[in-house]
A = this chain, B = another copy of it.
Amino acid sequence: MSKGVISKDEDYSQWFNDLIIKSDMAEYSPVRGCMIIKPYGYSIWEKIQGALDKMFKDTGHVNAYFPLLIPKSFFSKEASHVEGFAKECAVVTHYRLKNDGTGQIVVDEEAKLEEELIIRPTSETIIWNTYRGWIQSYRDLPILVNQWANVMRWEMRTRLFLRTSEFLWQEGHTAHATAQEAIAETEQMLEVYADFAENFMALPVVRGRKTANERFAGALDTYCIEALMQDGKALQAGTSHFLGQNFAKAFDVKFTNKENVQDYVWATSWGVSTRLIGALIMSHSDDAGLVLPPKLAPIQVVVVPIYKHQEELDNITTFVNSLTKELRAKNISIKFDNRDTHRPGAKFAEYELKGVPLRVAIGSRDMQNGTVELARRDTKTKETVQQEGLGAKIEALLEEIQTNIYQKAFKFREENTVEVDTYEEFKRMLDEQPGFISAHWDGTSETEQKIKDETKATIRCIPLNNKQEEGKCILTGNPSTQRVLFARAY
């Protein structure tokens, strides 16, 4: 157990928080529920952004930027949307402060806005109001726009990265001529998210659809990817919504189709956020610190020299410079930690805490023998290897680590996904071995709500390509045609 980090078996929630603070990823700010993303945490976000942005562009999307503030009246135009967000939004009412004469800085009541402005909790309303001016004919469609932005939802119970009042995200907002095209877009973006989660985050996810209860406020259908954390709780890692014509109707966005008939435009929206960093930490890390998959690690390889005399360090430095050149050419990031203010042991602990996938230690004997010591963060194994061919060895090992982290998480999920057929068994599993529970449900919101009230478990999703089978709802015994995935969730 690393200094200052509690064991995850002892207190998972505290472990998660400690890990973030100690590894210098983020901290709380004096502003309620808002966090400060420190450079180490932010560099992971930059990696996430870089990879996703490329995937969005490869699928034909472009970026744009819409205003932070949304007039209250816009916000209210889509009924279920305002219902979903009104209870947690930051409201701007004034546009000036003043000195009250006694030296106190106060709100200037003469600078009251005619209409209050809401800090965007999501941008469907301002964007669809804008699209009205962009779309006249089917020739203007599709519009495939994404935005990287900050959003604000006033949360009462917050947790670093997982649930903060302000968070960073991307929100795609697309406009289409037909429902089929919009649904295909919704599904495509879900697959982009799943691909990213599995191949970059090393996080296996279940692709599925939300029940009506759990849908996005204003959507006809919400697709999601769901992952299982090490404490057996589920985490929604990304959502992609088919919005039908709801926002087009609310903002009067019509187009002339190929048959020269006016129709409302079809919409999708989809987003992932800094929450992904929370998922990344929760799913792979251990009591010694973060375990980062190489593809998202800000530092992939760290080199720690072990020496007594300057000339030993000079020798090691010459070797490391050449290794650095070789690795950079392979697009592998390497850090040479030659600080003389810290001992090797302290450095080892620091990079373990920070989840650096590979550590290279080189001492004088290594230099004589033409070897180095290689330590893997994921398996905590060490080996002595030849300096010759080290670059290629590191490259191969990073790929192996990426795969291994994924497989470990996959195995964990498999071991913690069970089918149950009775409500007793359902409740027992939730308490004794929490995880994904695949069970029959009668398809009603009432049953879903009752199960939630009684057990805190929710239907995470109806998996895509779900097997159809006859069964009986675990709560009501009513007939069911498929199992759905339950879990307690973040």
Interface, chain A (partner B; CB < 8 A): 27, 29-31, 34-39, 42-43, 45-46, 62-72, 74-76, 82, 86-99, 105, 107, 116-119, 126, 129-130, 133, 139, 145, 149-150, 152, 154, 166, 168, 341
Contact = CB atoms under 8 A, between A and B. Distances in A.
A118 B152 CA distance: 14
Given A96-B86, A107-B93, A341-B139, A39 B64 contact: yes
A62 B43 contact: yes
Contact of A43 (B43, B63, B72, B166): B63
Contact of A119 (B34, B45, B92, B341): B92
Contacts of A89: 95-97
A145 B39 contact: yes
Nearest to A79: B103
Contact of A105 (B31, B42, B76, B139): B76
Given A90-B94, A91-B94, A93-B94, 10 more contacts: A30-B126, A36-B67, A39-B145, A68-B152, A87-B96, A87-B97, A88-B95, A88-B96, A90-B117, A139-B341
Contacts of A27: 130, 133
Contacts of A105: 72, 75-76, 82, 86
B39 A154 contact: no
Contacts of A99: 86
B31 A67 contact: yes
The 3 closest A-B pairs by CB, nearest first: A39-B62, A34-B67, A86-B97
Contacts of A145: 39
Contacts of A98: 86-87
Contacts of A76: 105
A68 B152 CA distance: 9
User: Quick one: which of A37, A92, A154 has the most chain B CB within 10 A?
Assistant: A92
A363 to B, nearest CB: 25
A91 B90 contact: no
Contacts of A96: 86-89, 91, 154
A64 B68 CA distance: 20
Nearest to A74: B30
Contact of A166 (B42, B69, B82): B69
Contacts of A67: 29, 31, 34-36, 166
A333 to B, nearest CB: 12
Contacts of A90: 69, 92, 94-95, 117
Given A82-B105, A92-B92, A39 B63 contact: yes
Contacts of A152: 68-69
Contacts of A45: 65
A38 B147 CA distance: 10
Contacts of A107: 72, 91, 93, 116
Contacts of A68: 34, 68, 119, 150, 152, 166
